[in-house]
Every structure is written in C-alpha cells, then in structure tokens.
C-alpha cells in the first residue's frame, strides 16, 4: 500500500471514529472531507500540445529575441534589418564545409561522409537556415510586426539564402535550376 493511500485511509478512519453514524442516512456513504488524490488539473486539459513546427518557431523566436537583447548597441525589433538577420544566423547556427573549385572534394563529397581535412571555408547549411528564416518570418508577424517591415523577408536575406543554396549545391555537384 502506498504512503498516500495509507494516509488517506488513516484520515478516513479518524474522521469516522469522531462522527456519529446517526448523522448519515444508511443509504449514503459518509463524506469524510477528503478529496480524491489524483485529479488532473483543469489547465492541463485546456492547453493543446504544440506541433513540432510551432515548437521550433517558438524556440527560434525566443533565440532571436535573446540575440536582440544581447546585441550592442541595443537593438529593438523595430530597428532590425536584413543585415541583423544575417548576423543572427551566423551567431546562432552551426557550420557546413563549403568546398572551393580547386578542392579535391569539389563535387565529390568524401565517401563515406566524414569531416574533411581541406581548408575550404565553413558556412551554415542552406536547408536549415531556410527553415529557420521561414519560421521567423511568420513569428515576426504573429508578434505584431508588419509584413512590409519584416526583416526576414528582406532582399538581402533572400539573396543570401539563394547564393548559399547554389554554392552548396555546386560543391556537391548538384545544379538547381528554376
């Protein structure tokens, strides 16, 4: 028997010994003043679980707001530009090896995939950054920003992502044509 059940049973026993049975009709069980131990909170049932996308969007937005707080000089959301978005992406996210034309791995990734010993520059993975920028574009507007002033939709951000995608595709020997 668990400690909680034992405590509840003891409390019921003490209450029933101190009250007279003549106060309760014979067809009703006496209420000893204790509440069932495991009742789910009403708040928990009211809040739906967040989807994976919503969780990622919330996480990315919190990281961006934290970046703005730490930025020197202080940077408010209303003064944020596409250049600040690029700084945030560089500040926040991991790196990918981007092979140059004279590298032996240009268009021929190592097989099996492993860290390269070449001196090619590091850059962020395009697919990750594209997803982050898309989520932050939506989060900006959900948090009161106007679509016309959305720094995540800025031309410099779109060009950066396009150039990064093309460069990383060429480094793997894949050509994107649209």
Domain spans of the chain, in order of start: 3-42, 48-171
The CA–CA distances, whole Å, from 168 to 1, 103, 108, 141, 152 equal 63, 14, 12, 30, 21
The per-residue pLDDT for 48 is 76
Higher pLDDT, 77 or 115: 77
What percent of the chain stands above pLDDT 90? 33
Whether 40 shows a pLDDT value over 70: the answer reads no
Whether 36 shows a pLDDT value over 60: the answer reads no
Higher pLDDT, 171 or 164: 164
| 103-126 tens-digit pLDDT | 877 777 666 656 666 777 666 778
- Rounded to a whole number of angstroms, the distance between the first and last alpha carbons of the chain is 69
pTM exceeds 0.75, yes or no: no
Whether 55 shows a pLDDT value over 90: the answer reads yes
Higher pLDDT, 97 or 69: 69
Whether 45 shows a pLDDT value over 70: the answer reads no
Q: Which of 93, 91, 88 is nearest to 137 (CA)?
A: 88
| 136-157 tens-digit pLDDT | 999 999 999 999 999 999 999 9
The per-residue pLDDT for 174 is 57
């Amino acid at each position: 028997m668990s400690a909680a059940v034992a405590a509840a049973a003891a409390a019921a026993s003490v209450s029933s010994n101190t009250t007279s049975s003549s106060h309760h009709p014979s067809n009703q069980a006496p209420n000893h003043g204790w509440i069932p131990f495991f009742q789910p909170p009403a708040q928990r049932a009211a809040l739906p679980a967040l989807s994976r996308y919503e969780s990622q969007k919330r996480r990315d937005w919190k990281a961006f707001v934290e970046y703005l707080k730490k930025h020197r000089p202080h940077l408010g959301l209303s003064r944020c530009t596409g250049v600040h978005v690029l700084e945030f992406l560089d500040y926040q996210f991991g790196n990918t090896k981007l092979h140059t034309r004279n590298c032996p791995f240009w268009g021929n990734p190592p097989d099996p995939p492993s860290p390269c010993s070449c001196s090619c520059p590091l850059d962020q993975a395009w697919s990750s950054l594209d997803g982050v920028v898309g989520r932050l574009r939506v989060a900006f507007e959900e948090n009161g920003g106007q679509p016309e002033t959305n720094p995540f939709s800025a031309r410099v951000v779109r060009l950066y992502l396009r150039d990064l995608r093309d460069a990383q595709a060429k480094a793997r020997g894949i050509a994107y044509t649209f």
